[in-house]
Amino acid sequence: MKYMLIIYGNDELWNSVEPAEQQRLFAAFDEFNKSHYASGELLGAYGMADPAATKLVRLRDGQPAVTDGPYLETKEYLASWYLIDVDSEQRALEIAAALPSAVYQPAEVWPILHEASSETGADMGIA
C-alpha cells in the first residue's frame, strides 16, 4: 500500500535550530533517503519551494486566473513530502517516526487510495 508522508515547515521553528543541528538534519535526511530507497520502500522524496514561489490557479469565466499564493494565515506550510510503498500501515508509521524531523514536527501519514493509470486513467474510473 502506498502512503504519502507530509512534513510541514515553520520558519520560526527552523530559525531557532542551531546551524550545526541544521547540517546534522540535512545529513540525516540524506541517510534516511538512501536507506529507504535501497529497501524499495521509498518511491520519491520531494522538497517544496518557498511558499512565496507558489501560484494559485482558478478558472474565471472560462479563463485561467493565476495569482500569487497561497496567503497563509498560519505559520506552517507544506515543506516536503514522501511517497512510500509498504506492506502495512504499521510500517508506514514506523518510517514516519524515523524521519529526522520527527523530533521537531510531526509528519502526517496519508493512505493513497487511488492512483491514475499513466495510460488511460482507468485506475480512477476515467474512461
Residue 88 has pLDDT above 60, yes or no: yes
Mean pLDDT, the chain, whole residue set: 90
Residue 122 lies in a domain: no
Q: State how far the alpha carbon of 15 is from the alpha carbons of 26, 49, 107, in Å.
A: 14, 17, 19
Residue 125 has pLDDT above 60, yes or no: no
What's the mean pLDDT in 51-75? Answer: 85
Residue 46 lies in a domain: yes
- CATH number, position 57: 3.30.70.1060
Residue 126 lies in a domain: no
**Residues facing 52 on adjacent strands:** none
Q: What residues make up the domain containing 61?
A: 2-114
Total of domains in the chain: 1
- In SS3 terms, 75-93 reads as CEEEEEEEEEECCCHHHHH
Residue 10 has pLDDT above 80, yes or no: yes
Residue 121 lies in a domain: no
- What is the per-residue pLDDT for 119? 74
